[in-house]
Amino acid sequence: MVFRCELKKVVDDTYDIEIGHGLQEKLVADLKAGLTGRRRFAVITDSTVEGLYAKDIFEMIKAAGFGAEMFVIPAGEKSKSRQMKEFLEDSMLEKGFRRDCAVIAVGGGVVTDLAGFVAGTFGRGVPFVNYATTLLAAADASVGGKTAVDTPLATNLIGMFNQPEKVYLDIDTWKTLPEEQIASGLAETIKHGCLGDRELFEYLEENVEKIFAGDVAACEYIAEHNCAVKYKVVMQDERESGLREVLNLGHTVGRAIETVSDYRLLHGEAVAIGTVAQARLGEKYGFVTEEERARVEALLERAKLPVRIPDYIDKAALVKKLYTDKKVRDGKLRFVFEKGIGEVVQFGENCFAKEIAENEIAEIIAQM
Amino acid sequence: MVFRCELKKVVDDTYDIEIGHGLQEKLVADLKAGLTGRRRFAVITDSTVEGLYAKDIFEMIKAAGFGAEMFVIPAGEKSKSRQMKEFLEDSMLEKGFRRDCAVIAVGGGVVTDLAGFVAGTFGRGVPFVNYATTLLAAADASVGGKTAVDTPLATNLIGMFNQPEKVYLDIDTWKTLPEEQIASGLAETIKHGCLGDRELFEYLEENVEKIFAGDVAACEYIAEHNCAVKYKVVMQDERESGLREVLNLGHTVGRAIETVSDYRLLHGEAVAIGTVAQARLGEKYGFVTEEERARVEALLERAKLPVRIPDYIDKAALVKKLYTDKKVRDGKLRFVFEKGIGEVVQFGENCFAKEIAENEIAEIIAQM
């Protein structure tokens, strides 16, 4: 006999991204007004952000009468690991955290990706809030609900889709970012321009230096446009069945080179190199003109990003690493390509990635 | 400014539980007909079930033209760990599994809980199917979508809600179960009777010995009633915000004693002791009569289950362990109680757990 479990329901994961300056007090006011519905908070941050912003936020939350503990992971991409997830879980359990808590992530993409994953499986899911302190987190991690850790064999392959209760993009925090971190965030921003927002791309061609100078209007412009591009894509395909793959532009080579570099390359730097590889291969296929490809490279360079593969990278290892990409199907490499600037190439119904022979991309890599 | 991410959608997690005898061929036929939509399968099982059923299923899947690999964990509750999850993930990645696979769990509750969790976070979620080979899995793990691992500090607190594509309850497999495993499954079955199905409870009072004898009709009856009770509760409260807590009857003491025994007690044995503790405390409150409490104890004993706390248990440690229960709120213990036989006590709107002072339950534990 067959017993049917009918489990159809409406899920509403709607949330707000608040973009502004110095949003610490707003966060605490929101928690007081019932954001997350919890009264005990695990503030998760890293060793860099702790002293800059997280400790203040943690103290403000306690001063508001809530229960709170702060948990600090070492800064850097290597913390995005199962071991660090376990460390946070054990630390939270030890401090008596159970299902009646919420997580407040304060930091960049590593912190928000990891803390969102911790929240998603702690007590089978507790609410979480992201307080993003980097341009990269603003560009990449704030929309889409992707959380994950890396493993020795693959980046971002262990994780879940988990939407926060709210995201704060505090543009003031970008002032304390080292230049290479601003550049890293710009890589994802330029990628967003390439794949879905020609206006954003051209705005950056006019104004990229203003971001480094901390120009308020320019920073707000890119924060908002990053959200809008990503949201437009994600809203149509939350689970990455097709369209969402376009966000992976530049990430096939990017993710692989990030790992092969053993994280000497920042995520954005790796994506910049991957975006160039994509544009060069795309030029061969006629998806972009030589002039468009040159504009992409030029903008990345003005954003102080690498557009060539560093000498210390083992190119054979890099090609092999491409096969750990999540777009791989039936053992075949698949790439997303921009179509000119501001659009992507569509290869079929709901299909935005093209199968590529290994030697085609190996040739591009050899030339870079 | 505020950017709103509207993410409202209809989710349909409906699935079938097929109850029958020797369902291996049906499973393979279903996969051929498109169940999971994948063509590459990770068959996850344990060292006991491997030779009994999993290897055959694995061979049949390969013979049907699919890609498949088998991954074997050591039998026993201790395998429900983050380390074993990591082992499975690394093994799958090493064999080239990516997001285009599905997981087939073949085994009891440990295997299905762990494999369901692995599937839920592998590539941010791949489909999975449960082929349940124990009465406990049939009674406990088949409805509700709960997946989890244990940690040194708490059982089942790291996990997620994740619904399978289909569940097979193969009653034939119960024949190879050791008697204490049948008993362990009966503990959850009796618990279901206590909390929501008086008819099931009374059927067991008439027929419990028939389950040990492998009587087909009796086995089918309890498989179906287990699904029905649990489904009735879960359908109304998938995320355990209130009503679903009733399934936790007997589990406050049960889960704690399971851990304190270092898993010398099987899950069902621990639940049996916990159910008695609950009934004894409930008798003090007048939720059950002395006669009803005695009927519960008598039925558990006829099901070859312990109704007293073994001598090797440190009772002080047990009381302390109660605080790791997931129903704990603001540091207070909370218990679910049956109301007579076949119902639970409701303590308020959407509230089915009562706050208990430590000394009240400590006294019951001391007497047991």
DSSP 3-state of B209: helix
Q: Give the pair of three-digit tokens for residue B269.
A: 């044995």
Nearest CA among A216, A218, A222 for reference residue A207: A218
What is the CATH topology of the domain spanning B179-367? Answer: Dehydroquinate synthase-like, alpha domain (1.20.1090)
Q: Give the pair of three-digit tokens for residue A322.
A: 């491409």
What Å distances lie between residue B264 and A67, A281, B113, CA to CA? 37, 60, 19
Architecture of the domain spanning B16-175:
3-Layer(aba) Sandwich (3.40)
Q: Give the pair of three-digit tokens for residue A359.
A: 């030697």
Give kind and range of the element (H or E) at residue A318: helix A315-321
Residue range A178-367 in CATH 1.20.1090.10: yes
What Å distances lie between residue B217 and B66, B171, B221, CA to CA? 35, 10, 6
DSSP 3-state of B64: coil
Beta partners for B72?
B45
What's the rounded Cα separation, in Å, for the pair A53 and A261? 30
Q: What's residue B350's pLDDT?
A: 86
Q: Is pLDDT at B57 greater than 80 in this prediction?
A: yes
Neighbours of B6 (CB within 10 A): 11
Which residues on chain A are in Cβ contact (under 8 Å) with B8? 10-14
B202 phi and psi, to 5 degrees? Answer: -70, -30
Q: What's residue B238's pLDDT?
A: 64
Q: Is A43 left (phi over 0), alpha (psi -120 to 50) or beta?
A: beta
Contact B19 A10 (CB under 8 A): no
What's the rounded Cα separation, in Å, for the pair A43 and A54? 8
3-state helix, strand, coil in chain A (%, to 5): 50, 20, 30
DSSP 3-state of A88: helix
Please give the full DSSP string across B223-249, using - where no structure is assigned.
Answer: HHHHHHHHHHHHHH-TT-SSGGGGGGT
Mean pLDDT of chain B: 94
What Å distances lie between residue A171 and A20, A87, A175, A220, B309, CA to CA? 6, 30, 8, 7, 59
Contact B158 A89 (CB under 8 A): yes
- pLDDT bucket at B239, cuts 50 / 70 / 90: low
b (16+ CB within 10 A) / e for A26-54? ebbebbeeebbebebbbbbbbebbbeebb
Beta partners for A346?
none
Residue with structure tokens 């299909």?
Answer: A351
Neighbours of B151 (CB within 10 A): 18
Blockwise average pLDDT, block size 10, chain A, 368 residues: 91 94 97 97 98 98 98 95 98 93 96 97 97 89 89 89 96 94 95 96 97 94 94 76 86 94 92 98 97 98 97 96 87 95 92 95 96
DSSP 3-state of B218: helix
In this complex, which of B89, B220, B238 lies closest to A7 when CB atoms are compared?
B238
Q: Is pLDDT at B328 greater than 90 in this prediction?
A: no
Q: Give the pair of three-digit tokens for residue A30.
A: 């929101």
Contact A2 B9 (CB under 8 A): no
Residues in chain A: 368
How much of chain B, in percent, has pLDDT values that exceed 90? 85
Q: Give the pair of three-digit tokens for residue A153.
A: 């064999």
- Chain A residue nearest residue B125, CA to CA: A160
C-alpha radius of gyration, chain B, whole number: 20
Q: What's residue B241's pLDDT?
A: 67
What's the rounded Cα separation, in Å, for the pair B168 and B107? 11
In this complex, which of A10, A121, A152 lies closest to B160 when CB atoms are compared?
A121
What's the rounded Cα separation, in Å, for the pair A148 and A114? 6
A256 to chain B nearest CA, in Å?
Answer: 15
What's the rounded Cα separation, in Å, for the pair A219 and A221? 5
Q: Give the pair of three-digit tokens for residue B240.
A: 């355990």
Q: What's residue B240's pLDDT?
A: 62
Interface of A with B in 283-322 (CB under 8 A): none
Mutate to test the interface with B, among A8, A97, A124, A329 (most CBs of B within 10 A): A124
| Cβ–Cβ under 8 Å, residues A190 and A201 | yes
What's the rounded Cα separation, in Å, for the pair B31 and B368? 49
Contact A7 B14 (CB under 8 A): yes
What's the rounded Cα separation, in Å, for the pair B215 and B235? 30
State the virtual CA torsion across A340, A344, A345, A350 in degrees, nearest 10. Answer: -170
| Cβ–Cβ under 8 Å, residues A91 and B155 | no
| Cβ–Cβ under 8 Å, residues B343 and B282 | no
Q: Dump pLDDT digits (tens) for B116-173.
A: 999 999 999 999 999 999 998 888 778 889 999 999 888 889 999 999 999 999 999 9
Domain boundaries, chain B: 16-175, 179-367
What's the rounded Cα separation, in Å, for the pair A167 and A20? 11
More confident position, B1 or A206: A206
B331 in A contact zone (CB under 8 Å): yes
B330 phi and psi, to 5 degrees? Answer: 50, 40
Q: What's residue A241's pLDDT?
A: 66
How much of chain B, in percent, has pLDDT values that exceed 70? 99
Which residues on chain A are in Cβ contact (under 8 Å) with B234? 5
Beta partners for B233?
none
Residue B347's Cβ-count burial label (10 Å; 0-12, 13-18, 19+) is middle
What's the rounded Cα separation, in Å, for the pair B88 and A158? 11
Q: How many CA atoms lie within 13 A of B228 on its CB side?
A: 14
How many CB contacts within 8 angstroms connect chain A with chain B? 193
Q: What's residue B90's pLDDT?
A: 97
Q: What's residue B349's pLDDT?
A: 86
Q: Dump pLDDT digits (tens) for B160-205.
A: 999 999 999 999 999 999 999 999 999 999 999 999 999 999 999 9
- Chain A residue nearest residue B39, CA to CA: A330
Longest dimension (CA), chain A: 69
B154 in A contact zone (CB under 8 Å): yes
What Å distances lie between residue A60 and A26, A53, A54, A103, A115, CA to CA? 11, 11, 10, 15, 20
B298 to chain A nearest CA, in Å?
Answer: 31
| Cβ–Cβ under 8 Å, residues B44 and B164 | no
Question: Which 8-state DSSP code applies to residue B50?
Answer: I
